[in-house]
Chain A
Amino acid sequence: MYAGQSVKRVDALDKVTGRTRYTDDLCDRRAYIARVLHSTIANGKVLRIDTAEAEKVPGVVKILTCFDLTEKHYFATAGHPWSTDPSHQDVADRLILTDRVRFYGDDIAAVVAEDEVAAAQALRLIKVEYEEYPFVLDVQKAMEDGAPLLHENYPNNILKHTQIRNGDYEKAIQEPGLIKVEGWYETPPVQHCHIENFICYAEMEGNRINVVSSTQIPHIVRRVVAQALGIEWGRVRVVKPYIGGGFGNKQDVLYEPLCAWLSMQTGGHLVKLDMTREETFACSRTRHSIRNHIVSWLRPDGTFVARKLEAFSDQGAYSSHGHSICAKGAGAFPQLYPCPNVEVDAYTVYTNKPVAGAMRGYGIPQAMWAVESHTEDIVTALGMDPLEFRRKNLMPVGYVDGFSKNEMYADSFNQCLDKAMAAIDYERKFKEYQNQTGDVRKGIGIAVFWYNTAVWPISLESSSCRMVLNQDGSFQLQVAETEIGQGADTAFAQMAADVVGVPLEKVHVVSCQDTDVTPFGTGAYASRQTYVAGFSIRQTGLLLKERILDYAHELTRMPVFNLDIVDGNIVRTTDGRVLMSLADLAEEALYSLSDSRHITAESTYQIKSNAYSFGCTIAEVEVDIPMCRAKLLNVVNCHDAGKLINPSLAEAQVHGGMSMGIGFGMSEKMMFDPKTGRMLNNNLLDYKLSTFLDHPRLQAEFVQNPEPTSAFGTKALGEPPACSVAPAIRNAILHATGVGINEAPANPHNLFRAFTEAGLIHDER
């Protein structure tokens, strides 16, 4: 069995030796270079674009503006499976280039040149005349009557408003003796900061357009490029090589349609579009900033009676993933701490900011910041123990969600809390850090998280797999689920080797997806690759095995029911004798003069289940109050992600997510100029992504309750590690100082404000 073992990554050798080729490595040097001209106003209309001076720059091939886009095909960019039901389709509100500018950085023209220098020079020489409109950057101000309207069909800029009504909130709060706890909790827009900026290139072949892109979702990109260009979907081919991270930003169609269009406008020539870091910040996608208002009514014994959540999600200028993000967090709210009377109102609202899309956790890190900060505020108000309160109120074993049919099969929360507490020595530290005084204080804080694997029943969930047997008994494995650094290919190889019965090195994973040849599937998102691909790998592996054993029957005259494949050999199960090697069988199969066969298997599995994936974070901090600085001393995550296919890779995945959570909780924030709407800190110096030195040792713990719905007992682990780190840090700072930071991040600026308000800092002049 390979599943459950920490085998070496299948791509380890290439990656550590630098042999792995990414999009830019693959692009031919004769490519034209494309650069995008972005708007320098936040809201308005482009009246005129003067390219005369720019055209004179030697090396400029062509300059195309929004006015050259004669056919307007509006398209939706979200990396969601297509819905054949128009009412479930994403909002198509984008154009390849636009004259109607909705954020500072919108795409209004593009330069195609022979090299980067000519493209950059030309870009600086283009003159644009605008008609400026007032703009709005604040999510709740955007909802006010009379606020600048971004999209005509969305009054008050509300892209979507959904509600949950369980029980009777108004009636329930009449109960005498209830304690009310209320708070506002907000998370800022942040960025994925994948190390490889977005890049793609395109060229025509015949009447088709080939696109190579750093994406998580090649099959979706194919569909959207075709929709944006207004051509048949089969005329688009998308290739996805190794990518340098995506974290959800590349679960969106970014500039592939523009790049394809530019190639078509320059005679089908190869055109490369390589975004700068500054553009990736300001012009790709961000994590939705969400402002949450929570009211809880409790009995003095800590029982929830009624709860209310209002969530205001800042969509930025275009819909992208839209309300799905806010809705996911809103949906978690009544489940995590079940309560009979709940009201939820979730709003997703357009503002004149960069577009928010998918980012690791998909709304749950924002929701957990609010919910778990609020939980700690309740605990503080009631004078209860943070751990006991959670144990008393968290989703119990046996809980079933009526919509998804997800079930809490095992006691994941208590098991994860126990393991994390032991790992960080919680009880001792919690007592020791009570009621401290002095300038430097320590604290320890808890946060749990809710997550679910995959997107069923909201969207299509299907996976396809192909296996092709080689002459030596090895086989190629192809799935549409993509390797984006997380190690998916390795997990797939482990699962396939187990199902077919071959040594791991006999599985050749075709890492690159090519929509012309890769079986259909929708790509990497929703922490679903291992869960979803598991079904089609198992089903296809069994099919391949059946075909191999059928041929083995021809060669050995033994009945198929007495045959098996074990460690790459055809074995007679009745006595364990090796009858022949799979290699001998495979060679004979291809070259037999009497019965030649090309042994392959391909199948699709439609998954109609979904699995909870829960866990927690405990963080320990030291707060230097006069220096307005919190230092993270220790942090542990514990996850129940079901059975781990590769424990080392799982641990690495948790480390990465924790790192993202540390930045989210302590330092990261996209900032905008209130006067212009321009992003101020769109570079890695001013945007405070945390560094190695800002991290303590990251501890990853697991409890492994096999997921009963899963093909291999496994479930989500891609996104969950980023979900609870920030509120645990916030709660640790609260424990240390008595001050709760309700607006992330807990950086020195916010600590200075909060400590000053709380009277912990006195600046005498």
Chain B
Amino acid sequence: MYDIKALYEAESTQDAIRLLQEHPQAQIIAGGSDVLVQIREGRRAGVELVSIYGIDDLRGVCLDETGAVRIGSLTSFSHIAASPIIQEKIPVLGEAVSLVGGPQIRNIGTIGGNTCNGVTSADSASTLMAWDAVVEIEGPEGTRRVPIREFYINAGVVDLRPAEVQTAIIIPKESYEGYFGNYIKYAMREAMDIATLGCSVNVALSPDKKEIRDARIAFGVAGPVPMRAPSAEKAAKGRPVSAETAEIFSRAVLEDIRPRDSWRAAKAFREHIAVETAKRAFEKSILLGGGVISEQAV
């Protein structure tokens, strides 16, 4: 039994915006895998809810006219993982969302909910960060698009204004074409867990596969929100594909990340794992891109 004051079911995005305007205290519920847990805990007890779960227009993965990958915000994790477009263009995103919770959560949980929660541990978030995804939002003022790096403001706070609904997540063609990536979820168990640290890396190699044309890396749980590690990216860019580059790249993440000391994990431990996962995800990305890491000593 949940302590819910009222539930309004939106039939379309415009209807959802109207309901949110009519009920300014109301919160959006999609799959409910986070919201219902919070209600049960008493944190949102007595809440008014606007359900957008019935808006099928917000569901599905497609390529838009520019070649960008467009993921409707209500698309479930299992749907994303099974999508041929994702498997072809950004397989690492499918792999990342396959690590969320368990099968039931992946069937009900949505990528929109995962990002709108504003939590740093979200398995989709570090990969979307690392691939320069763009968030599409509809509201009373119309549609706007925000780079996901700007969408995250602080722990639990995202750039959603009153009566706005996140409608899609878009990965532009230039963000994915030629890039190969890997995500490492470091958690205490192999399933049903949240990340102690999440690390998503992708690289674009030179045509001869000898040089790092571009490298991007984002972490979850290395700070209050998912974050990129620009020092590491800069350090690797233009360098030869080598074990030394992997070492330089991974050590450099310490200049950017700021994990917390908490009862869930010590700062020193998170930092150690950040370096190790950065190295491994970087090396794996290179291999996926067709590169061969030379065994030259560091």
Contact = CB atoms under 8 A, between A and B. Distances in A.
Contacts of B1: 115-117
Most buried by B among A124, A680, A681, A691: A691
A685 B194 contact: yes
A749 B269 contact: yes
A121 B188 contact: no
Interface in A735-765: 747-749, 752, 761, 763-765
6 shortest A-B CB distances, which residue pairs? Answer: A693-B190, A116-B1, A693-B191, A691-B191, A688-B188, A117-B3
B271 interface: yes
B45 interface: yes
Interface string A606-631: 00000000000000000000111000
Contacts of B2: 117
Contacts of B273: 627-628, 748
B272 A628 contact: yes
A684 B102 CA distance: 13
Interface residues of A, number: 31
Nearest to A762: B272
Contact of B189 (A671, A694, A749): A694
B263 A680 contact: yes
Nearest to A278: B41
Contacts of A628: 269, 272-273
A673 interface: yes
28 contacts: A116-B1, A117-B1, A117-B3, A120-B3, A121-B3, A121-B46, A124-B42, A627-B186, A627-B273, A627-B276, A627-B277, A628-B272, A681-B263, A685-B192, A685-B194, A688-B193, A690-B189, A693-B190, A693-B191, A747-B188, A748-B188, A748-B269, A748-B273, A752-B268, A752-B269, A761-B272, A763-B275, A764-B251
Interface of B: 1-3, 42, 45-46, 186, 188-194, 196, 251, 254, 263-266, 268-269, 271-273, 275-277
Contacts of B266: 749, 752
Contact of A685 (B193, B254, B268, B276): B193
Contacts of A686: 264
A667 interface: yes
A120 B42 CA distance: 8
A667 B191 CA distance: 13
B210 to A, nearest CB: 26
A549 B46 CA distance: 69
Contact of B45 (A120, A667, A761, A765): A120
B278 to A, nearest CB: 12
A108 B236 CA distance: 60
A763 B196 CA distance: 19
Given A116-B1, A124-B45, 15 more contacts: A117-B2, A121-B45, A626-B276, A627-B276, A628-B272, A628-B273, A667-B189, A673-B263, A680-B263, A684-B192, A693-B189, A749-B265, A752-B266, A763-B268, A763-B275
Contacts of A116: 1
A403 interface: no
Given A115-B1, A121-B3, A685-B194, A752 B272 contact: yes
A231 B273 CA distance: 60
A694 B193 CA distance: 12
A691 B188 contact: no
B114 to A, nearest CB: 16
Interface string A683-708: 01110101111100000000000000
Contacts of B272: 628, 752, 761, 763
A747 B193 CA distance: 14
A692 B277 CA distance: 24
B260 to A, nearest CB: 14
Contacts of A626: 276
Interface of A: 115-117, 120-121, 124, 626-628, 667, 671, 673, 680-681, 684-686, 688, 690-694, 747-749, 752, 761, 763-765
B273 to A, nearest CB: 7
Nearest to A673: B263
A694 B190 contact: yes
Contacts of B46: 121
Nearest to A627: B276
A685 B196 CA distance: 12
Contacts of B192: 684-685, 691
Contacts of A685: 192-194
A207 to B, nearest CB: 33
A627 B250 CA distance: 14
Contacts of B268: 752, 763
Contacts of A764: 251
A203 to B, nearest CB: 21
A524 B139 CA distance: 61
Nearest to B2: A117
Nearest to B254: A765
Nearest to B277: A627
Given A117-B3, A121-B45, A748-B269, A688 B276 contact: no
Contacts of B45: 120-121, 124
Nearest to A690: B189
Contacts of A690: 189
Contacts of B271: 763
A681 B188 CA distance: 13
A472 B189 CA distance: 54
Contacts of A124: 42, 45
A692 B194 CA distance: 16
A121 to B, nearest CB: 7
A118 to B, nearest CB: 9
A691 B42 contact: no
A763 B275 CA distance: 9
A701 to B, nearest CB: 26
A53 to B, nearest CB: 14
B191 A692 contact: yes
Contacts of A680: 263
A117 B266 CA distance: 38
A675 to B, nearest CB: 11
Contacts of B42: 120, 124
A685 B188 CA distance: 10
Contacts of B193: 685, 688
A117 B269 CA distance: 41
A623 B15 CA distance: 54
Nearest to B102: A691
A765 B268 CA distance: 11
B184 to A, nearest CB: 9
A200 B7 CA distance: 32
A368 to B, nearest CB: 24
B279 to A, nearest CB: 9
Nearest to A749: B269
Contacts of B263: 671, 673, 680-681
A671 B265 CA distance: 12
A226 B165 CA distance: 58
A688 B269 contact: no
A116 B3 CA distance: 9
A376 to B, nearest CB: 25
Contacts of A763: 268, 271-272, 275
Contacts of A667: 188-189
B256 to A, nearest CB: 14
Contacts of B275: 763
A684 B42 CA distance: 18
A736 B218 CA distance: 33
Residue among A117, A671, A761 with most chain B CB within 10 A: A117
Contacts of A692: 191
Contacts of A627: 186, 273, 276-277
A541 B190 CA distance: 49
